[in-house]
Structure 1
Amino acid sequence: MDLMEASILLHVGIVLLLLWILSSFNCCHPIAYFLSLIYLYLIYERYDMRLRRKIQFEERRKSSRRRALFESETVRWLNNAVEKIWLVCIEQIISQKILLPIIPWFLQKYKPWTVKKAVVQHLYMGRSPPIFTEMRVIRQPNDDDHLVLELGINFRAADDMSAILAVKLRKRLGLGMRTKLHLMGMHIEGKVLIGLKFLHKWPFLGRLRVCFAEPPYFQMVVKPLFTRGLDVTELPGIAGWLDKLLALAFEETLVEPNMLVVDVEKFASPSPQPESWFSVDAKDPIAHAMVEVVEASDMKPSDPNGLADPYVKGQLGPYRFRTKPQRKTRTPKWNEEFKIPIFTWESPNVLAIEVCDKDHFVDDSLGSVTFSF
């Protein structure tokens, strides 16, 4: 039995236990059974989405392994070197010197409105180093980089990974309560672009620019209060909110053309100041696409009353947009306009549009279409 099956059974066991407790007190209303079914359905949908996402990245990984023998030997040597010195120094440098100063900046910018303050109290990446799946040199570096590398990276934290995030809620919502979230696992996979600019003197590397070539596969295990118990990233509502938050944080800062810029000279100084040696370089768009969502007619009824609550959502690269839902109608009129940034003409720009019906629990898809230009 794998971890996913065990976790699903845990949710089923909790639901059955709650129903048994309600039955023992003669309080088990039929609504409780209905809500239990909805809860388990949402949990199933969450796991199904995770599984589909994992399969997609597994297929990408297999296709990326078809490389020349020389490149395979280079990647094998790199993985062996990283494995040997990971616990000696690399883990401490990444977790304590790099991530600890950077994470507070991300938390301050992307924390939810319910949180007043969030602080990382402890961070240990675990004994397992990242694995590089491929490596190649970009022949024509952009800007003034002397060398640009494209690395396929797969980091799956071992079971000894631990991180503690202290959170203080706002007074109007949580009465200023404090809690701790324990990050017990992490899996991140994708293609990373690294731009290097060299110097003639120490530290010989002047600037390092890092970004993902495309939105990465990212999953983590977060448990509240204690290191045992449910993973809160699986719960309906929290799961969707967390996915949107992570997607926004990655796409606005760490997905090409946006990138994290590290001033290696300042980083290597005897006493580097926090937030002085790194910055986020957000590229300006080279053009814009104007999308106007006007109206629709004869839409598919998806509610018991024979009507629908339709809205339109779309995505072009990292940019997402969504209209307001129109209630109880089959002839909605949105009349909304969106200005979508375009960052490159070197690869096809694909605009994906989907019409959905707004429901209380799971929104229904009424149709979709894609455009390439």
Structure 2
Amino acid sequence: MPKFVELLELKRELRDQLERKLTQRERNEALADSHSRREPRMCGLTVHPGRGCSLGCKYCYVEDMGIRGPPESYKLSGLQLVYAILSNTFFLPSEQGTMLAFGSITEPFLPGIRERTFEYLRAVSELLGNPTQISTKFYIGKEESRILGEIDPKLSVLVTIPCLSKAEVIEPYAPRPELRFQTIRNLRDESVHTSLFLRPIIPGVADLDGPKIIENAKSAGANGVVLGTLRVTPSILERLREAGIHELEELLTSKNIKRGRQVPIDTSSIKSSLRRVALRAGLRVFPAACSANMDSHSLGCYACSFGPCFGELPPIDPEDIREGLMSLGIAADVYVKGERLILRVRGGVRREKVAKYLVRAFARRMVSTMRT
């Protein structure tokens, strides 16, 4: 198990190596890209092989993010992407580092994007080795499944299937659910860790279709299931109403719904019911997408309230973390309280935030910070 100090040094070495391989123009393009500065989410640092989507799913939030027009492949090369990620202050390389999540603002296997997806997956696997996950609702054939398993034997794949009976209305241009179940079979035939992504849970749909979706995913060989919440904006509500999904307003967790702001729908009772169905079927229920990623890599995590997840947590040496932060110019006292780390950071908000993201990625524990 590498030390925190060692991973920070590895990050500097990897970045220096790529700096020598890229031209000044290529480096400048990478540093101007959002991958070089974006803050990770709990599921990890999102990686974008493309922008936009043509599948027209009624629950999609991409247009609400201002991403319109035909989908397009990302412009950075694989080496540029890795250089950008290594330039990100919040990122830590290696399997003991920051999780990576592909697929948040595009369908990564769309024609015109899939080649970039394969390029990016290969680059991060060969050069970084971080726990990587990709979500898709596209059909992945046997040969592509073989390539994915070859690129990253520990890759975590989430296959999105939220509906059956209304799929043609709710997901008009997406591959049929039957093809997505075949995707699970193809990936599992190549020993790729593959989970059903029953997300979003749409009231009036998931409660009816969910048990059959779970049964079919189990038959296809899925490792487990992630049950995900529906989040809506005014435009998503309108599109779902047009698709025959009504009365969602009554289940809003906040009445402060406005353009661009995603508000969760309360689906707790449906989620609990589907969880019982999955467990009876012998399917593992992952509490979050990142939990499936941890399982795929045989890692333990207790970085949020959903934990602890699966394997053993890495050992923690407060002095090692203190020295690592000091190498970044961040002075901090480090304390261990049960499975939680407490950082007392001297300096501004930026230093506190950097310390929290890096230590949480390394320690895989809840981290509390305070400034002094």
Give the TM bin, normalised by the shorter chain: under 0.3
Q: Which has the higher strand share?
A: 1
TM-score, structure 1 as length reference: 0.26
- Structure with greater contact order relative to length (CA < 8 Å, sep ≥ 6): 2
TM-score computed with the length of structure 2 as normaliser: 0.26
Structure ID, larger Rg: 1
Which structure has more helix as a fraction of its residues?
2
